[in-house]
Amino acid sequence: MSMLSLRLPKSMYGDLKEIAKEEGISMNQFVIIAIAEKIASLEAANYLEKRAARGSREKLLEVLAKAPDVEPAEYDKL
């Protein structure tokens, strides 16, 4: 495992300490979870951007054209 040393403003340190205590985890665990969530979020955004770049309006319209043009059932209406 690698080591990382952080310098936090006092207010942030206090918030971190308080929230970690409320969650019943160590400050280290809280920071690890926060970093993991941020990495997952960035990776998801990158994946979706790449996926969107492969899409086309024409293909979307082809798929939508296959849907029947009927009123939704009563329980499905807004």
Domain assignment of residue 16, given as a range: 10-67
Half-sphere exposure of 1 (CA within 13 A, CB side): 4
Rounded to two decimals, what is the model's pTM?
Answer: 0.69
Query: Is residue 77 in some structural domain?
Result: no
pLDDT digits (tens, 9 = 90+) for 41-75: 999 999 999 999 999 999 999 999 999 999 999 99
Closest CA to 19 of 39, 4, 41, 34: 34
- In this prediction, residue 1 has a pLDDT band, given cuts at 50, 70 and 90, of confident
Cα atoms in the 13 Å half-sphere on the side-chain side of 46: 6
Q: What is the total count of domains within the chain?
A: 1
Would 73 be classed as within a structural domain?
no
Domain annotation covers residue 74: no
CA angle 28, 32, 38 (to 5 degrees): 145
Q: Determine, yes or no, domain membership for 72.
A: no
Closest by Cα among 35, 36, 16 to 26 = 16
